[in-house]
Amino acid sequence: MSEKFEALKAREERLLCRTYGRYPLSVVEAQGARLTDIDGREYIDLLGGIAVANLGHCNEELAQLIERQARKLIHVSNLFYQEEQLNMAEALLATLHLDKVFFCNSGAEANEAAIKLARRYTQKVKGREAGDIITLEGAFHGRTLATVAATGQARFTDGFAPIPQGFVKVAWGDLDAMRAAISPRTAAVLVEVIQGEGGIRPMSPEYAQGIEALCREHDLVLICDEVQSGMGRTGKYWGFQHMGIKPDIVSAAKALANGLPLGAMMASEEVARGFVAGSHATTFGGGALLTAIGAKVLEIMKRDKIVERTAQVGGRFMDKLRALSERQPGKIREIRGHGLMIGVELAFPAKPVWEELLARGFVLNLTHETVLRLLPPLIINEADLDMFVIALEEILGAHQA
C-alpha cells in the first residue's frame, strides 16, 4: 500500500464510526465500468457501487442533467406539487403492473413504507387486526430497526435489543413452513425473489407462484423487495417478472437514480388505499433533483434497450462462466442468477481468489465466504467481462483444492 493510502486510512480511523470493513482500496474517480484508485491504478468494476451505477459511473447525460436541474430546482419539500416526481412516477409505473408510488431515500425506507402500508391497509381498509409479516431465512431488507427485524439475522440485530416485534421468519424454499407460519395475525409476506446479500439465490417460478397462491388464499399482501434485483439488473425490469407473479407492493432503490439516494415503494391501487394524507412522509424523498434524474435514467434505459442488452450480455457471460466451470472441475460449486446479477459459488473459501482478482484489477464482492457476487454496471463492455473470465480461470487453475 502507498503512503498516500496509509495516511487516508489513519485519518478515517480517527474520524469515522467503525461500521465498515473496507476493501484495501480508495477510489478517487470512476467512469463507466472503470475505477481509478488514489495511486492512479485502474480497475474493472464488477460491483457497480453494489448494483447502483447501472448506467455507468459519472454518466455524461446524467451529469449534464444534474448541472441543469441544480440551477432550476433541487428541493422545496413534499409540501409542494413537483412535476419531476410525476414524470418519474409515470416512467416507473410503465415498467410493471402497479398503480401508485411513494418516493423515499433508500432501500430500507422503501421497505419501511411497504411494511407500514401493508399493515395499515390490512387494519384500516380490511378491518383485520393483523400486522405480522412473514420473511425468509437468508433475507436482507435493510438496517433500520424494523428492517433488521425483517432481515432476522443475528449478525444484524446483535446488541440492538429491543428489536421490533411482528416478523416471522420461515425457511427458504419451504412452502409448507410458510403455510404453517400463517396465522390470523399475519398481514403480509415480504420476500426477495432473488436474494442478493443472501448469495444470489433466485426462486424457482414454482416456489414464487406457490408463495403468491398462499397470499391469495389467506388474503395477505405480497411484498417483493426489488431493491437489488430491480431496475433491469436481471434482464427484466423487475426480478418477479421472471417468476410469473404479481406482487401487491414492490420496493426499489439502489439503481433508481444511478448513484444518488432515491427509493420508491410501488403499490396496487387497492393496497395504496391504506395510506391517507398524513399516514407517512419524508423530508427529502423524491425531491426534484432526484426524481428528474430517475426519470432520465428510465428514459435512457428504454431508449438504449438496456434491459434487453442486460439479458443478452448476462446470458452470454453466464454461459462463459459455466464453460469455465466445466474446464475446471471441482472448483466451482454453482453459478446462479439472472442477467447481470450473478453469484459464482466456489467449492472452497473464496477470500484468496477475491484478493488475487483485486490484485489483478477486478473489483467485486464476496459474500458467505464462498460466493463471488457480480453486479457490474449494465453498460459494461463484454471485453471486460471476458477479461474477468480469463483471470478467474487462471486463478482457479493455479488453486490447489
Ligand X SMILES: *Cc1c(COP(=O)(O)O)cnc(C)c1O
Contacts 24+ apart (CB under 8 A), 180-184: 181/134, 182/134, 182/214, 182/218, 182/220, 183/132, 184/128, 184/130
Which among 355, 352, 314 is positioned nearest to 335, based on CA atoms?
314
Residue type at 223 in one-letter notation: I
Q: Cβ 356 to ligand X, closest distance in Å?
A: 26
Q: Work out the angle between the directed axes of helices 60-70 and 288-303 (0-180°, nearest 10).
A: 150
Handedness of CA 247, 122, 272, 146 (dihedral sign): negative
Nearer to ligand X among residue 281 and residue 347 (C-beta): 281
Nearer to ligand X among residue 45 and residue 192 (C-beta): 192
Nearer to ligand X among residue 148 and residue 221 (C-beta): 148
Nearer to ligand X among residue 143 and residue 179 (C-beta): 143
Q: Exposure of 80 by Cβ count < 10 A (0-12 exposed, 13-18 middle, 19+ buried)?
A: exposed
Measured between alpha carbons, how far is 213 from 178 in angstroms, rounded to an integer? 11
Nearer to ligand X among residue 112 and residue 212 (C-beta): 112
The residue nearest ligand X at its CB is: 107
Nearer to ligand X among residue 59 and residue 151 (C-beta): 151
State phi, psi for 337 to the nearest 5 degrees.
Answer: 135, -175
Handedness of CA 111, 112, 117, 119 (dihedral sign): positive
Nine-digit cell at 109?
425506507
Q: Cβ 351 to ligand X, closest distance in Å?
A: 22
SS3 178: helix
Residues that bind ligand X (CB under 6 A): 106-108, 111, 140-142, 192, 196-197, 225, 227-228, 253-254
Measured between alpha carbons, how far is 122 from 223 in angstroms, rounded to an integer? 13
Measured between alpha carbons, how far is 238 from 254 in angstroms, rounded to an integer? 13
Q: Cβ 26 to ligand X, closest distance in Å?
A: 21
Q: Cβ 139 to ligand X, closest distance in Å?
A: 8
Nearer to ligand X among residue 196 and residue 314 (C-beta): 196
Q: Cβ 142 to ligand X, closest distance in Å?
A: 4
Contact in structure between 226 and 66 (CB atoms under 8 Å) = no
Measured between alpha carbons, how far is 63 from 293 in angstroms, rounded to an integer? 9
Contact in structure between 345 and 371 (CB atoms under 8 Å) = yes
Q: Cβ 320 to ligand X, closest distance in Å?
A: 25
Q: Cβ 390 to ligand X, closest distance in Å?
A: 29
Q: Cβ 66 to ligand X, closest distance in Å?
A: 20
What does the radius of gyration of the chain's CA atoms come to, in whole angstroms? Answer: 21
Q: Cβ 183 to ligand X, closest distance in Å?
A: 25
Nearer to ligand X among residue 197 and residue 393 (C-beta): 197
Helix, strand, coil content of the chain in percent (nearest 5): 40, 20, 40
Nearer to ligand X among residue 140 and residue 207 (C-beta): 140
Q: Cβ 372 to ligand X, closest distance in Å?
A: 17
Q: Cβ 392 to ligand X, closest distance in Å?
A: 24
**Vertex 385: Cα angle to 229 and 296 (nearest 5):** 50
Nearer to ligand X among residue 363 and residue 395 (C-beta): 363
Eight-class DSSP state of 29: E
How many CB atoms are located within 10 Å of the residue 283 CB? Answer: 9
Which among 207, 177, 180 is positioned nearest to 192, based on CA atoms?
207
Nearer to ligand X among residue 105 and residue 268 (C-beta): 105
